[in-house]
Chains A and B, each alone.
Chain A
Amino acid sequence: MDIELSKADLEFREEVTAFLDGNAYKPGEDYAAWRLNWFKAAAEKGGWDVPKWPAAFGGPGWTPTQHYIWEQETATRNLPWDLPFGVGMVAPIIMTYGNAEQQARFLPDIRARTVNWCQGYSEPGAGSDLAALKTKAELSEDGTHYVVNGSKIWTTMAHIADWIFCLTRTSSEGKKQEGITFLLFPMKQDGVEVKPIITLGGSHTVNTVHFTDVKVPVENRIGEEGKGWTYAKGLLAHERTGLAGVSRSLVALEKLRRQAGKVKRGNGSLLDDPSFKSKLARLEIDLKALEYTELRSLARAAAGAQPGPESSIMKLKGTEIQQRIALLTTEAAGPFAAPWGGASVGPSFASGGTQSYLGSRAYTIYGGASEVQKDIIAKNVLGLKAKGKAS
């Protein structure tokens, strides 16, 4: 056992911070231009724009420790905005299951961040039970294209997306996991209708999407017809590991500590308040534990082993901790957690804290609701069989 970083790792950390600081956004700069340039500069470093992509597709081929260092350093800095759907979600599927022509066609734009994607999985009747999805794709008689009809819901950023990766049903025979087909198609075309859903914080990120006779050429099908479930499942696991956000939580917790230190409580600060102090400490203990759980899992991966049981708890614990940090931030704001609608009153972190708290409620719902995640762990890790199982 050894927790020291090697000399090479320390040098890597310096290289990372030099890059991040050297390319930081300067006030007044044209943001959109800076953003695209940032990704270009990161690409020139040798795949730093796509850290998780395999080297064969232009990724940096980092060791798990290098990934960890990158996570840590980027968590404390403002990176250009980036949606997870392209680089993080659909790209790995295209790399693994798409053909060479599809890889050449889609990956460069995804990598350059010039095309935005959205994920069309969930439907009104198919949430946790995703395999119950009904959106229908019918192959035309001449076999050149599918005709897609149906509805998706909760589609994040569908209103700005250029393309969607979509699970559709091509057959209702057999098990419901069979007969699902993975299609890619443009969003800005006739027959695709996007309607906003307003969430608790009053913001618009999710949508319903309706398809009426949308024609999708067969060249846009990933892999084989009817095998979409297998492809998507691989991706879901990928999606979940990205949701623990340990580095970001560590940064958020430090920020909360600084903020609470400025909140007056009698002659001291909130950090002298026994219940607040113990909540903060408890949160830190859980987070340190999770940090080491992640490191253990990284070390295993570095040794070339399969992800162990520890990796399965990352999403559950990670999102729960994010929610608790958000909640405790609102508690630090006290009476000032209530003002809303851009009212800048009380401590400067107050309104953002409430916004985060409301937003954080969704963390235990998307990417696999917590209850269902636990069913999966019970089955796959503990080897338990249950009545009314979810997986």
Chain B
Amino acid sequence: MNFELSEEQQLLQDSVARFVADHYSLEARRKLADSTLGYSEDHWKQFAELGWLALPFSEEDGGLGGTIIDAMVVMEQFGKGLILEPYFATVILGGGVLKRLPPSESRTARINAVMEGHMKLALATTELQSRWDLHDVVSTATADGDGFVLNGTKSVVLHGASADGIIVSLRTQGGQFDKDGISLFWVDPKAEGVSLKAYPTVDGLRAAELTLEKVSVPSDALLGPLHGGYEILDAVAQEATLALSAEGLGAMERLYKDTVEYTQNREQFDHPLSDFQTLQHRMVEMFMEYEQCKSLLYRATLEFAQDGMDASKSVSACKHLVGVAGRFIGENAVQLHGGMGVTEELAIGHYFKRLFVIDTQFGNADYHLERYAA
């Protein structure tokens, strides 16, 4: 048994940590979050140069052949820095679909463009009624001559408006809840009938509502097998859930450590707050919850690396605890900072909000508890 990172993974961790330290002061992040785009193209170029965009793609695809463990390493550091760039949307979600497709010219071209930093992606699965059920799909793709016509609405598409290509799950046959009959399509945001309504999310990131109105696409817009998109989605969702959990873990670490530090420096009643036993115990609980999340994250990640989809129960266990512990740690970090905790001025409020949003993505704590119990 060995829970240490390999030398390469250690180097990767150091390089992401260094990037965060150099580029993600709270002030710098605030500026970026307030900009029109919401992140930095410059950073994205550096991501490409550092090889992070090539990480999950296989060596045959020209990538670095990284595993889910590498993704975890990167995302945890991103969580500590509250990174705004669409790495999760492009590399974990979009890239996760692309790498699972059978070989084709367009697949190669797109993977290359992603790795070089020229193409950003988004994955559109959520619908008004679906919550987190990837198989609950009413938006449709209908065969039409050589191609398809797409209709419907997708919601809270992460970084949808800055994506160069959006991968959309659509129903090609069966009823609303059938896993069979869902297909994935490549949608060019600029195509006729495609509209995007962009907005910020509460954590300072971006999302969009995607509307498809009689959008005609050629037959090669279909990604993967007709009616067989769900299996790909399900696998990508597992990776995504782990990636978000890792990001959440990074945020939790910052929160509990910042709180321990703050309470040692803030004095009330002629004592540092950290002298008060009730606060000490609260921070001990925050710390313990963090460590428990880390354990479940390691467990789920290692199992997924080994057993793939058979690890889904462990993945749900992990996301459940990340939801519950993230809430506990976030809320108590705010509470223990008193008034300072509810301001935009300190970092902790931003970590708290990111954890809040992580619980709304790819299934909240209750959702994964039910999956685990099922």
A-to-B contact residues, CB < 8 Å:
122, 125, 127-129, 132, 153-154, 197-200, 202, 206, 263-266, 273-276, 279, 327, 330-331, 333-343, 345-346, 354, 357-358, 361-362, 364-366, 369-371, 374, 388-390
CA distance A153 to B343 in the complex (A): 12
Residue B7 at the A interface, CB < 8 A?
no
Q: Is the CB of B269 within 8 A of A346?
A: no
Nearest A residue to B366 by beta-carbon distance? A275
Q: Pick out which of these stretches binds chain A: B81-89, B202-210, B212-220, B307-315.
A: B202-210
Question: Known contacts being A128-B269, A334-B364, A345-B155, is A200 close to B353, with CB within 8 Å?
Answer: yes
Q: Is the CB of A364 within 8 A of B335?
A: yes
Residue B357 at the A interface, CB < 8 A?
yes
Nearest B residue to A206 by beta-carbon distance? B339
Nearest B residue to A364 by beta-carbon distance? B335
Question: Known contacts being A264-B129, A340-B199, is A361 close to B364, with CB within 8 Å?
Answer: no
Question: Known contacts being A128-B268, A331-B366, A343-B200, is A338 close to B361, with CB within 8 Å?
Answer: yes
Q: Is the CB of B334 within 8 A of A361?
A: yes
Q: Is the CB of B155 within 8 A of A335?
A: yes
Nearest A residue to B277 by beta-carbon distance? A388
Q: Is the CB of B155 within 8 A of A390?
A: no
Q: Is the CB of B343 within 8 A of A198?
A: yes
Q: Is the CB of B339 within 8 A of A346?
A: no
Residues of A within 8 A of B270 (CB): 129
CA distance A371 to B129 in the complex (A): 41
Nearest B residue to A270 by beta-carbon distance? B131
Nearest A residue to B331 by beta-carbon distance? A361
Nearest B residue to A357 by beta-carbon distance? B356
Residues of A within 8 A of B339 (CB): 122, 127, 153-154, 206, 362, 365-366
Nearest A residue to B126 by beta-carbon distance? A335
> Could you write out 7 A-B pairs with CB less than 8 Å apart?
A128-B269, A266-B177, A331-B366, A343-B200, A345-B199, A370-B335, A388-B277
Task: A122-B339, A361-B342 are known; give 16 further A-B pairs, CB within 8 A.
Answer: A128-B338, A129-B270, A198-B344, A198-B345, A202-B344, A266-B136, A274-B370, A275-B369, A279-B366, A330-B360, A334-B364, A339-B200, A342-B199, A357-B356, A358-B342, A361-B335
CA distance A19 to B276 in the complex (A): 50
Q: Is the CB of A388 within 8 A of B275?
A: yes
How many chain-B residues does the 8 Å CB contact rule pick out?
50
Q: Is the CB of B338 within 8 A of A365?
A: yes
Nearest A residue to B352 by beta-carbon distance? A200
CA distance A160 to B371 in the complex (A): 50
Q: Which 8 A-B pairs have the closest CB atoms?
A: A343-B199, A129-B268, A340-B202, A275-B366, A264-B129, A338-B201, A334-B131, A198-B344
CA distance A362 to B370 in the complex (A): 31
Residues of A within 8 A of B327 (CB): 327
Q: Which of B203, B278, B353, B356 contacts A371, CB < 8 Å?
A: B278
Q: Is the CB of A338 within 8 A of B364?
A: no
Q: Is the CB of B343 within 8 A of A346?
A: no
Residue B132 at the A interface, CB < 8 A?
yes
B-to-A contact residues, CB < 8 Å:
126, 128-129, 131-133, 136, 155-156, 177, 197, 199-203, 207, 209, 267-271, 275-279, 327, 331, 334-335, 338-339, 341-345, 349, 352-353, 356-357, 360-361, 364, 366, 369-370
Q: Is the CB of A334 within 8 A of B279?
A: no
Instruction: Kindly name the residue among B131, B335, B345 whose own CB sees the greatest number of chain A CB atoms within 10 A.
Output: B131
- Is chain B's interface secondary structure helix, strand, loop, or mixed overall? mixed
Question: Known contacts being A128-B268, A334-B131, A345-B156, is A388 close to B200, with CB within 8 Å?
Answer: no
Q: Is the CB of A335 within 8 A of B344?
A: no
Q: Which of A206, A339, A370 contacts B207, CB < 8 Å?
A: A339
A238 to chain B, nearest CB (A): 21
Residues of A within 8 A of B335 (CB): 361, 364-365, 369-371
Q: Is the CB of B360 within 8 A of A199?
A: no
A57 to chain B, nearest CB (A): 33
A172 to chain B, nearest CB (A): 15
Question: Known contacts being A338-B202, A339-B199, A345-B199, is A197 close to B279, with CB within 8 Å?
Answer: no
Q: Is the CB of A265 within 8 A of B268?
A: no
B206 to chain A, nearest CB (A): 10
Q: Is the CB of A388 within 8 A of B269?
A: yes
CA distance A364 to B337 in the complex (A): 12
Q: Is the CB of A362 within 8 A of B269?
A: no
Q: Is the CB of A346 within 8 A of B369?
A: no
Residues of A within 8 A of B343 (CB): 197-200
Residues of B within 8 A of A265 (CB): 131
Residues of B within 8 A of A366 (CB): 339
Question: Known contacts being A200-B353, A334-B132, is A340 close to B200, with CB within 8 Å?
Answer: yes
B24 to chain A, nearest CB (A): 20
Q: Which of B177, B331, B338 contacts A369, CB < 8 Å?
A: B338
Residues of B within 8 A of A128 (CB): 268-269, 338
CA distance A357 to B334 in the complex (A): 13
Residues of B within 8 A of A331 (CB): 364, 366
A372 to chain B, nearest CB (A): 9
Residues of A within 8 A of B131 (CB): 263, 265, 334-335
CA distance A4 to B199 in the complex (A): 52
CA distance A334 to B131 in the complex (A): 6
A329 to chain B, nearest CB (A): 13
Residues of A within 8 A of B349 (CB): 200
Q: Which of A127, A198, A273, A337 contacts B268, CB < 8 Å?
A: A127
Residues of A within 8 A of B352 (CB): 200
Q: Which of B197, B275, B341, B360 contacts A338, CB < 8 Å?
A: B360
B34 to chain A, nearest CB (A): 11
Nearest A residue to B336 by beta-carbon distance? A371
Q: Is the CB of A132 within 8 A of B268?
A: yes
B59 to chain A, nearest CB (A): 35
CA distance A78 to B178 in the complex (A): 45
Q: Which of A199, A340, A389 contacts B342, CB < 8 Å?
A: A199
Residues of B within 8 A of A263 (CB): 131
CA distance A199 to B345 in the complex (A): 8
Q: Is the CB of A127 within 8 A of B338?
A: yes
Q: Is the CB of A345 within 8 A of B345?
A: no
Q: Is the CB of A337 within 8 A of B360?
A: yes
A272 to chain B, nearest CB (A): 12
Q: Is the CB of B269 within 8 A of A335?
A: no
Q: Is the CB of B128 within 8 A of A346?
A: yes
